[in-house]
Chains A and B, each alone.
Chain A
């Protein structure tokens, strides 16, 4: 597998990327990490470019990470959140986004509770769109920083065993991670109580288990996930204490683990539920490293997308296989009206 150039208009999902494109993005991340280690953590690469963070869901890490990434590249970064935006007044997602684009925005970073929201905007807008999480679908930049962190410690993905434990069904991080890991040659095990395993578990290409011991044994990397109560996990959720007893990652459970097992978590952590504090803060935890590399990883993405010439045609139209295509003539009329 060799890196191949990333020439897309948008970053919408990991699933649509080739292994070569992923490797290229990981390689680029390296040099941006160096910028973050400097005294003066700023380069002029994106001077005069505008990045808008449009977040319809709560976020601390991802939004701050994109904002810092944009600012360290000298882009102008504007943050909009749903609670203060005109969606409160009944404006549609499409109208909000097109208005932001009309202000000559170069990159729109969007988080939305609806799966496919970023793909929809990617199709509707001429500016670049970055998916910062869409419903239960994908969170590609989280996967890129996870993959980068794993590569930093394990060097190679071939033959690597990665286990993801928790609420897989509602996790966009899991879907992006699984897609990326499999493309790069790792083996993936997903684990959780059966109501939290996705209906399509079998088609994801990962080994599935409901026993956490099986997920820990033989794993090189363990990614724990939070229970996504806000996305409807509550219906079948027995309660924090029972979950912690049966699935929580504790030091005791890790006794049977490999010595160099890497402990990861995309955050936010519910301490004492999916992971005990001594594991989260333990010697093999790289949770804060993930956050650190996230900034560099997003710098790499913004740099590549914002460098695109405005008149450059989008090489590959964004697509979401599950979604029925809209009738083409109608869209053309809409475009004509928009101009």
Chain B
């Protein structure tokens, strides 16, 4: 039950477009810095930085943020499962033009946590958000400034950005939620959603 929204070439083209938009809407690229949200956001941020360098000649610094400790839903199961990763910002955020980079924008809670984390590293001049996919379903007043692809999917579905660095291939896929054994499926599978 997997539908490919973007293939490898389209993912790369989308990143180049996002890089264009960031350069176009930033003005002075000097204070620009990209901050990826672990794990996939970091890889996306690194690629965006390279694309921005190809366009403008200047390579913005890239940082990595683990927002787990800033989440509002301290979840023991999740914390017992997921290994925390180090936050690594090789620059001060003070007076920076920060672009937060994440793979999928959904409830907005990760972004809220990322903003809370970011301000501990200095007061940025401006923070904007770039995501590979926006799937709707917000629970907080958050929006993205740069969006790779807007999707409309059912709440149960999983939107996944696959990246060569981790998954061996680039793609944006939508997966219907696997029905847990014993629980009756409600309605048709989400793969036929508009």
Residues from chain A with Cβ under 8 Å of B91 in the complex: none
Q: Cβ of A309 < 8 Å from any Cβ of B?
A: yes
Complex Cα gap A42–B69 (Å): 10
Q: Cβ of B76 < 8 Å from any Cβ of A?
A: yes
Cβ B88 vs Cβ A34 within 8 A: yes
Residues from chain B with Cβ under 8 Å of A39 in the complex: 120-121
Cross-interface CB contact of A27 among B66, B74, B75, B83, cutoff 8 Å: B83
Stretch at the interface among A1-9, A220-228, A326-334: A1-9
Give the most central of A31, A32, A38: most B CB within 10 Å.
A31
Closest to A38 in B: B120
Complex Cα gap A34–B63 (Å): 14
Q: Cβ of B166 < 8 Å from any Cβ of A?
A: no
Q: Cβ of B186 < 8 Å from any Cβ of A?
A: no
Q: Cβ of B140 < 8 Å from any Cβ of A?
A: no
Interface positions, chain B 68-93, Cβ under 8 Å from A, are: 68-71, 74-76, 79-81, 83-88
Cβ B76 vs Cβ A309 within 8 A: yes
Residues from chain A with Cβ under 8 Å of B117 in the complex: 43
Complex Cα gap A187–B76 (Å): 34
Cβ A45 vs Cβ B76 within 8 A: no
- Tell me the minimal C-beta distance from A303 to chain B in angstroms: 7
Cβ A34 vs Cβ B87 within 8 A: yes
Closest to A4 in B: B80
Cβ A34 vs Cβ B86 within 8 A: yes
Complex Cα gap A1–B2 (Å): 34
Cβ B80 vs Cβ A31 within 8 A: no
**Chain A, 22-34, contact with B by CB distance < 8 Å: what is the 0/1 string?**
0010011011111
Cross-interface CB contact of B75 among A32, A42, A73, A307, cutoff 8 Å: A307
Cβ B69 vs Cβ A44 within 8 A: yes
Residues from chain A with Cβ under 8 Å of B74 in the complex: 45-46, 306-307
- Tell me the minimal C-beta distance from A220 to chain B in angstroms: 27
Closest to B117 in A: A43
Cβ A45 vs Cβ B69 within 8 A: yes
Cβ A307 vs Cβ B86 within 8 A: no
Residues from chain B with Cβ under 8 Å of A28 in the complex: 83-84
Q: Cβ of B142 < 8 Å from any Cβ of A?
A: no
| Total of A-B residue pairs, C-beta within 8 Å | 59
Complex Cα gap A43–B79 (Å): 15
Complex Cα gap A40–B71 (Å): 17
Q: Cβ of B178 < 8 Å from any Cβ of A?
A: no
Q: A31-B86, A38-B120 are in contact. Are A304 and B76 (CB under 8 A)?
A: yes
Residues from chain A with Cβ under 8 Å of B66 in the complex: 31
Q: Cβ of A312 < 8 Å from any Cβ of B?
A: yes
Q: A40-B120, A44-B69 are in contact. Are A308 and B87 (CB under 8 A)?
A: no
Q: Cβ of A35 < 8 Å from any Cβ of B?
A: yes
Cβ A304 vs Cβ B79 within 8 A: yes
Q: Cβ of B116 < 8 Å from any Cβ of A?
A: yes
- Tell me the minimal C-beta distance from A254 to chain B in angstroms: 35
- Tell me the minimal C-beta distance from A191 to chain B in angstroms: 36
Residues from chain A with Cβ under 8 Å of B70 in the complex: 43-45
Complex Cα gap A24–B66 (Å): 17
Complex Cα gap A46–B79 (Å): 13
Complex Cα gap A75–B116 (Å): 17
Q: A27-B83, A30-B86, A312-B76 are in contact. Are A43 and B69 (CB under 8 A)?
A: yes
Cross-interface CB contact of B80 among A7, A46, A306, cutoff 8 Å: A7
- Tell me the minimal C-beta distance from A3 to chain B in angstroms: 7
Complex Cα gap A308–B85 (Å): 20
Closest to A3 in B: B83
Cross-interface CB contact of A5 among B80, B84, B86, cutoff 8 Å: B80
Complex Cα gap A32–B69 (Å): 10
Residues from chain B with Cβ under 8 Å of A33 in the complex: 86
Residues from chain A with Cβ under 8 Å of B68 in the complex: 45
Cβ B86 vs Cβ A303 within 8 A: no
Complex Cα gap A168–B57 (Å): 63
**Chain B, 44-69, contact with A by CB distance < 8 Å: what is the 0/1 string?**
00000000000000000000001011
Complex Cα gap A45–B74 (Å): 7
Residues from chain A with Cβ under 8 Å of B86 in the complex: 30-31, 33-34
9 contacts between A and B (CB under 8 A): A31-B87, A34-B88, A35-B69, A39-B121, A43-B120, A44-B70, A45-B69, A307-B75, A307-B79
What would 17 more interface pairs be, CB under 8 Å, given A33-B86, A307-B76? A7-B76, A28-B83, A28-B84, A30-B86, A31-B84, A34-B86, A34-B87, A38-B121, A40-B120, A43-B69, A44-B70, A44-B116, A45-B71, A45-B74, A303-B79, A307-B74, A307-B80
The 8 A-B pairs of least Cβ separation, nearest first, read: A31-B84, A5-B80, A43-B69, A307-B76, A45-B69, A34-B86, A40-B120, A308-B76
